[in-house]
Amino acid sequence: MRTANYLVRANHEFTRGPRLACNQPTTPVTWPRITIVTPVRNGARFIEETIRSIVYQGYPNLEYIVVDGGSSDGTVEIIRKYESHISWWVSRRDRRVYDALNNGFAHSTGDIMGWLNASDLLHTNGLFVVGSVFASLRAVEWLTGRPTRFNPNGMTVDIRNLPSWSRYRFLAGANKYIQQESTFWRRSLWDKAGGELNAAYRDVGDFDLWVRFFRHARLYSVDALIGGYRFHPDAISAMDIERYNERCDKIIERELKFIRWAGAVKAFRRVSSAVKDIPKVRGLWQRLALKSLYQLAGPDWPPVVADQENKWVIREGVRRVRGPA
């Protein structure tokens, strides 16, 4: 059975649950419409915390969509509890997470897009960070915040260094893990990159999307907290990291076939592959070569977006992360 709520509101006034304070910029901005999609199937354990972390921010131009894959554990009842704050939702069988996301985004209208899985969380005022950066800096087509991690109880237990991102270093194997929970983009970039996720993938559809985004735009790091990943045993990316990396490598190999001047990247990857089964050589390679890809600044790195007196600015020459987070 298909259930939908098409009430789309430009301003949200909530009467239930905690209201998170927001110190809005002193300079008025037109808040861009942000679409967030949450895919879920039998996620009753965490889904309510995820929903609350989004809707109780009080962001004034939010389009929140929930796509349930036919849950039978009480998830639907929790969604109904918050449906007055949800722009559209549906409960029906789907072909796993990326199919659900494509369904949600197909019903969306936001200028800014992102998703949050049904166990992860946004940080306080995370949407205001996203909205104000995109409103202030037209050069930014996609962004990501500081990588953070929550424990199963929803406590922030890890705030990592701020990475910088380069297409070629990313494809070579450096700065490989872009935290999806902190990453948002303009709809125009989504359309350029094909306008959908590859639903054939089980767990690397986001990686495939980042590869396609890099064809068209640089990824900007924002020195702020936006969202975080909740580590728990049932999380998809926690199940088999080795096979996950293998699938990512196949996506990279396919991408490199269509890039001119990718010879150096291909050579670097060949060496990395050759030494990975030689422990002593692998350790030396990681210390001397892979870390250099993180550490050495270059013109291929975009500057960092940072707050300066309640205003977002693009800072050149900011010191970057020293090694893998």
- Report pLDDT for 318: 57
Inter-CA distances, 34 with 71, 100, 230, Å = 26, 18, 22
- Asked if the structure places residue 271 within a domain, the reply is yes
Question: Which H or E element spans position 220?
Answer: strand 219-221
Residue 325 lies inside a defined structural domain of this protein? no
Residue 191, domain CATH: 3.90.550.10
More confident residue, 300 or 102: 102
| Domain-located, residue 298 | yes
pLDDT digits (tens, 9 = 90+) for 94-126: 888 999 999 999 999 999 999 999 999 999 999
Tokens of residue 119, six digits:
């166990």
CA atoms within 13 A on the CB side of 299: 0
pTM: 0.86
Minimum mean pLDDT range among 191-200, 231-240, 297-306: 231-240
> Which residues are CB-contacts of 300 (< 8 A; sequence separation ≥ 6)?
166, 167, 168, 169
pLDDT surpassing 80 at residue 276: no
**Above 50 in pLDDT, residue 7?**
no
- Average model confidence (pLDDT) for the chain? 85
- Our count of domains for the chain comes to 1
pLDDT over 50 (residue 158): yes
Distance CA 162, CA 145 (A): 8
Range of the domain at 88: 34-315
- Is residue 22 very low, low, confident or very high in pLDDT (cuts 50, 70, 90)? very low
- In this structure, the chain runs to a length of 325
**What mean pLDDT do residues 212-234 have?**
93
Nearest to 208 by CA among 170, 182, 155: 170
Half-sphere exposure of residue 236: CA atoms within 13 angstroms, side-chain side: 19
Average pLDDT over residues 26-36: 79
Has residue 13 been placed in a domain?
A: no
Residue 24, domain member (yes or no): no
| Residue 252 tokens, joined | 């990279």
Q: What is the DSSP letter of 288?
A: I
Q: Is 87 exposed, middle or buried (0-12, 13-18, 19+ CB in 10 A)?
A: buried
Distance, in Å, from the CA atom of 189 to the CA atom of 112, rounded to the nearest integer, reads: 10
Judge whether 11 lies within some domain. Answer: no
End-to-end CA distance of the chain: 44
Average pLDDT over residues 183-187: 98
- Number of alpha helices (DSSP H) and beta strands (DSSP E) in the chain: 11, 13
Q: Which residue has the tokens 């304070």?
A: 21
CA dist 38 and 16 (Å) reads: 20
Residue 308 included in any domain: yes
User: Cα(152)–Cα(12) distance, rounded to whole angstroms?
Assistant: 29
Of residues 45, 17, 79, 53, the one with CA closest to residue 235 = 45
In a domain, 60, yes or no: yes
User: 55 is written with which tokens?
Assistant: 């809707």
